[in-house]
Chain A
Amino acid sequence: MSKIIWLIPLMPFVGSITLMLFGKNLRRSHIGYLGVSSVGISALLTALLAIEFMQNQEVLETLVWTWMQVGSFAPGISFYFDGLTLVMMSVITGVGFLIHLFSTEFMEEDPSYARYFAYLNMFVASMLILVMADNLLLLYLGWEGVGVCSYLLVGFWYQHSANGHAARKAFIVTRIGDTAMALGLLLLFSHLGTLDIQVLMGKASQVWEVGENIPLIACLLLVCGAVGKSAQLPLHTWLPDAMAGPTPVSALIHAATMVTAGVYLIARTHGLFLLAPDAMIVVAIIGVVTSLMAAFTALMQTDIKRILAYSTISQIGYMFLALGVGAWSAGIFHLMTHAFFKALLFLGSGAIIHCLHHEHNIFKMGGLRTRMPVTFWSFMIGSAALAALPMTSGFFSKDQILLQAYQLPDLGPGLWMAGLLGALLTAIYSFRLVFVVFFGEANTEPDKDTEWRMAIPLSILCFLALVGGYFTIPVVDVFPVTGGSHPAHWVEYVSISVPIVGLVIAYFVFLNRRINIETLTTSSFGRGLGNLWLSGWGIDWLYDRLFVRPYYRLANLLKSEPVDVIYNAIVELNQLLNLWLSKSQTGRLRWYLVSMVAGLIILISLASNLGPGVLQW
């Protein structure tokens, strides 16, 4: 099994290339088979690998070939496989397979069926490379690869320029983080002489003391990359817009896998972060602030996908919080459960959008409970897990994070309280969504119901979202052991009860309407705050003024090539001289002759006056 580990990313890659080259000539059903089966085979291989790993716990390292070698710089196309990799691979191939299956129905009528699956397969391949890479440069390859696939898929319906704009925004904003990360790679290589992650972490702990500056800078640069990819403050603005892509894409890329790459990166290089405690605190604070910011924003959104997008940002904030407080395995655990329930929610919303003539506004839905039962139950379970109601998968992972955050000295209780507030908001906005969409009066009639290709992935994900919390992820050997003592019981009780409170609030506000928030929302302060949240705290507006417009203005200012002014001045000087000298060209023969003779006389007299020496030659 270990010999053919490279087959796992290769399969979807081959699928993608095949679809790109021959997609035009294939029948639609064949395209579907090809697209789904390539990921399916990878999922099967991953399952086999998982079984083997469960038995012998063997860490695998495979060098496929040396990518390039210049002096001592010799990154390989080489894979590293341990428990963490396994978790990520399972999520990518497993959830990925379900989403591919779902897509065959969702995209059924799209003219660019083959192109869609080609991109989606390419994404899976890149994502697998990202998590399997044993060195940071190969990881960077996967990292940029998923970025490009995300760009292609967000802008999949290219004929609307708004989609193209969203796609470019997604790519460029993440690229800012990526560039910082690339600088981090340069820094790490020039100090440690390697990019191999395991070797690097080993060397780092020998070379550097805890709290030194260079590991801090390196870690912060890596965090920049992670922040961009995982849509955390301040580089989160691309994710809500990225919802312009097809919904299964949002499920796969912008919920389950790619956006969690930043979490994976930090977890993978945790050895470095342990050397830079300040960087970890930064990560924790970014996480908690982002999760609150996004949760407030999600409260006010009306577009079903934007609600989910902000909730994704918020949940990844929890993962960052976990990483920041050193709860590595809790972070990864939440990554996994989040992949399940968020993919479920996105696919559920995809089913709604699919059946409701591409309607996105939740207030134009309503009453779907009886008419789309499968979707309703998917949403119920997904929202329960998202809100972390007890016994769902989200509960286990989020609970772990909050408890471990509480135990952090100094900052701990503060982070915990902020996390709890976020959890409360999460419960409110997720059940607001459920109550508005599935209960109440019907505003739009669905024109079809989900078929098996949509229903099966939904059911499987429902199951995973429910029981995912009982899984144990095999990362014990990967991360250092953290968290010794158990916090007081009341802490746990509070953590459990907060989501339920949120549910109750949502029930009274949005379904039962016992609590009337009209007066609050119509007051000028309430409206102002609501608009602020609706616009995502105005951050997009701010960036537009601060960066985008000045850049456009600069480009506009410079586009006519200011440097040419210098050369044009030289040309003009010559033309001026020409104008002046050509005046002496009178066209009168006698004038030329006179000037010639005069010149001759002047020269001769000059020469004879300068002394006899000159005339001698």
Chain B
Amino acid sequence: MDGLDIPLNHILFISSLLFAIGMLGLMIRRNIIFILMSLEVMLNSAALAFVAAGAHWGQPDGQVVFMLILTVAAAEVAVGLGLVLQVQKRFKTLDMDHANRMQG
């Protein structure tokens, strides 16, 4: 553990960078597959921050939450891919801007 002493700030920087990339992807991509992937990136960036913080404070909580996020991500992918199939079936496209039935 001694040799690899990366400062917390660096990891948090990477994490927020990942988060921003994910968020940007979410905002600009229209394809639902890419949206899901961007979401995955954002979740993982959060998970990274948790693990890093947990390591920094020497607490197990960070890793516990990481486990939780893994589960959530898995569940999310399951639901998300189901939705992808449905969207493909209904709209014959994966472009999310076409699925705008909720327009007020």
Interface residues of A (CB under 8 A from B): 581-590, 593-594, 597
Rounded to whole Å, the gap between the CB of B76 and the closest CB of chain A is: 15
B104 close to A583 (CB less than 8 A)? yes
CB-CB under 8 A for A585 and B103, given A590-B96, A590-B97: yes
Q: Is the CB of A588 within 8 A of B97?
A: yes
Cα-based distance from A594 to B103 in the complex (angstroms): 16
Contact A590 B26 (CB under 8 A): yes
Instruction: Choose from B28, B30, B35, B100 the contact partner of A586 (Cβ within 8 Å).
Output: B100
A586 to B102 Cα, complex, angstroms: 7
**Chain A residues within 8 Å of B99, by CB:** 587, 589
Residues of A within 8 A of B96 (CB): 588-590
Contact between B27 and A597 (Cβ–Cβ < 8 Å)? yes
CA distance A538 to B27 in the complex (A): 86
CB distance from A507 to the nearest CB of B (A): 94
Contact B104 A582 (CB under 8 A): yes
The closest CB in chain A to the CB of B96 belongs to A589
With A and B bound together, what is the CA distance between A587 and B101 in angstroms? Answer: 6
**Please, which residues of chain A bring their CB within 8 A of the CB of B28?**
590
Q: Check if B70 is an interface residue, CB within 8 A of chain A.
A: no
B35 CB to nearest A CB, Å? 8
Interface residues of B (CB under 8 A from A): 23, 26-28, 30, 35, 96-97, 99-104
State the CA gap A590–B104 with chains docked (Å): 15
Min Cβ gap A370→B in Å is 95
| Complex CA–CA separation, A581 to B104 (angstroms) | 8
CA distance in complex: A323, B43 (Å): 103
State how many angstroms separate the Cβ of A600 from the closest Cβ of chain B: 10
* Beta-carbon contact of A590 and B27 below 8 Å: yes
- A581 contacts across to B, CB distance below 8 A: 104
B30 is contacted by which of A583, A590, A594 (Cβ under 8 Å)?
A: A590
CA distance A219 to B22 in the complex (A): 94
Chain B: CB-nearest residue to A578 = B104
Determine the distance from Cα of A584 to Cα of B100 in the docked complex, in whole angstroms.
12
Whether B102 lies near A585 (C-beta < 8 A) is: yes
State the Cβ distance, B20 to closest chain A Cβ, in Å: 10
Q: How far is the CB of B17 from chain A (nearest CB, A)?
A: 16
Residues of A contacting B97 in the complex (Cβ-Cβ under 8 angstroms): 588-590
Look across to chain B and name the residue whose beta carbon is closest to the beta carbon of A585. B104
For residue A584, which residues in chain B have a CB less than 8 angstroms away from its CB?
104
* A447 shortest CB reach to chain B, Å: 83
B26–A593 CB distance below 8 A: yes
Residues of B within 8 A of A585 (CB): 102-104
**Closest A residue to B29 using CB positions:** A590
A336 to chain B, nearest CB (A): 85
Bound Cα distance A583, B102 (Å)? 11
Contact pick for A593, options B27, B100, B102, CB 8 Å = B27
The smallest beta-carbon distance between A70 and chain B, in angstroms, is 62
A587–B30 CB distance below 8 A: no
Verify A587–B100 contact, CB threshold 8 A: yes
